[in-house]
């Protein structure tokens, strides 16, 4: 483990958190088996970036606010900023990012992003809390982007892994369109059969699969009949799935917000999924990952 990373543990799980981006770097079971990406640089070296202040890509990496244009990298800047340690115990940690001169240059708002990690037996609970510390109404979106092992370390082929949604998901999904990273106007048929998705590497040759009409706020990931992960996301209405085809991970990404649509030229307030935070208000987004024994 890097000396700069923080470690927390419970009887069933251990986790490492990187202060750069408050990124969940690893999650392991009691036997030390990895439940997250191997970060093979042939594919993607990310682990679990936080998406703030915007999810996805702005067209031409620029967004418009009140007749001004601001540069914004894909998925925002939080993943590239160092978070400060606020609280730490054996089984929990709280990291904080406050607005500074560099963030205000491209996102002219005084925000606070608190990122908490707590291990409770076989569950990792992650909670992001965003607070408007300024005096103006603040537009934002937020998303999680964790990359879970595919295959998980409990046996079974890659092709045997399944996502099982809490509810049937027949609604059409969204895909990336002709402009890189932007959302196509036309929906695509759902690849879910009932409540079950059998992912394949080929599904991601055109980039992410995006559910913007999602009934479920919970799903499971793994091989039926074997230990698997249960993932709860009560505060985020949308979901992205993504990988670089052939890699050893599947990103399961609860989102509140998404990329610009193809051809979008509007103000940021017109961007799909943008939320408003009034001065002094906070909003939290929780994601729980539970290791289920069978």
Residue 74, classed as helix, strand or coil, is coil
Please, where are the H alpha helices in 29-144? 101-106
With respect to residue 205, please indicate whether it lies within any of the assigned structural domains.
Answer: yes
What pLDDT, on the 0 to 100 scale, is given for residue 217? 98
With respect to residue 171, please indicate whether it lies within any of the assigned structural domains.
Answer: yes
Radius of gyration for the alpha carbons in the chain, expressed in angstroms and rounded? 18
For position 129, which CATH number holds? 2.70.98.10
Alpha carbon distance 289, 276 (integer Å): 28
Alpha carbon distance 284, 113 (integer Å): 10
With respect to residue 1, please indicate whether it lies within any of the assigned structural domains.
Answer: no
What pLDDT, on the 0 to 100 scale, is given for residue 231? 98
Give the domain extent around 46.
6-292
Nearest 10 degrees: Cα torsion 173, 178, 180, 186: -20
What pLDDT, on the 0 to 100 scale, is given for residue 294? 78
What pLDDT, on the 0 to 100 scale, is given for residue 46? 95
Q: Provide the domain count of the chain.
A: 1
What pLDDT, on the 0 to 100 scale, is given for residue 3? 66
Predicted confidence pLDDT, tens digits, the chain (294 residues): 566 999 999 999 999 999 999 999 999 999 999 999 999 999 999 999 999 999 999 999 999 999 899 999 999 999 999 999 999 999 999 999 999 999 999 999 999 999 999 999 999 999 999 999 999 999 999 999 999 999 999 999 999 999 999 999 999 999 999 899 999 999 999 999 999 999 999 999 999 999 999 999 999 999 999 999 999 999 999 999 999 999 999 999 999 999 999 999 999 999 999 999 999 999 999 999 999 997
Alpha carbon distance 13, 27 (integer Å): 7
Q: Are 150 and 161 in contact (CB under 8 A)?
A: yes
What pLDDT, on the 0 to 100 scale, is given for residue 1? 55
């Amino acid at each position: 483990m890097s000396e700069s990373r923080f470690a927390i543990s419970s009887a069933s799980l251990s986790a490492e958190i990187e202060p750069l981006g408050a990124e969940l770097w690893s999650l392991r079971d009691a036997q030390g088996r990895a439940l997250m990406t191997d970060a093979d640089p042939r594919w993607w070296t990310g682990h679990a970036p936080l998406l703030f202040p915007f999810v996805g890509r702005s067209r031409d990496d620029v967004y418009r606010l009140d007749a001004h244009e601001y540069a914004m990298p894909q998925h925002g800047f939080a993943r590239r900023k160092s978070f400060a340690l606020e609280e730490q115990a054996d089984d929990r940690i709280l990291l904080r990012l406050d607005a500074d001169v560099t963030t205000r240059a491209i996102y002219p708002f005084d925000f606070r992003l608190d990122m908490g990690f707590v291990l409770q037996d076989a569950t990792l609970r992650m909670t992001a809390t965003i607070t408007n510390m300024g005096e103006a109404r603040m537009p934002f979106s937020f998303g999680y982007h964790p990359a879970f092992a595919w295959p998980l370390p409990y046996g079974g082929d890659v092709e045997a892994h399944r996502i099982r949604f809490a509810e049937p998901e027949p609604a059409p999904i969204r895909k990336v369109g002709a402009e890189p990273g932007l959302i196509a106007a036309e929906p695509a048929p759902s690849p879910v059969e009932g409540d079950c998705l059998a992912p394949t590497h080929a599904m991601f040759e055109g980039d992410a699969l995006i559910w913007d009409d999602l009934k479920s706020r919970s799903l499971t990931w793994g091989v039926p009949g074997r230990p698997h992960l249960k993932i709860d996301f009560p505060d985020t209405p949308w979901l992205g799935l993504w990988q670089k085809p052939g890699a050893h991970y599947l990103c399961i990404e609860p989102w509140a917000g998404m990329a610009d649509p193809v051809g979008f030229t509007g103000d940021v307030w017109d961007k799909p999924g943008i939320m408003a935070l009034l001065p002094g208000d906070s909003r939290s987004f929780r994601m729980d990952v539970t290791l289920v024994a069978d």
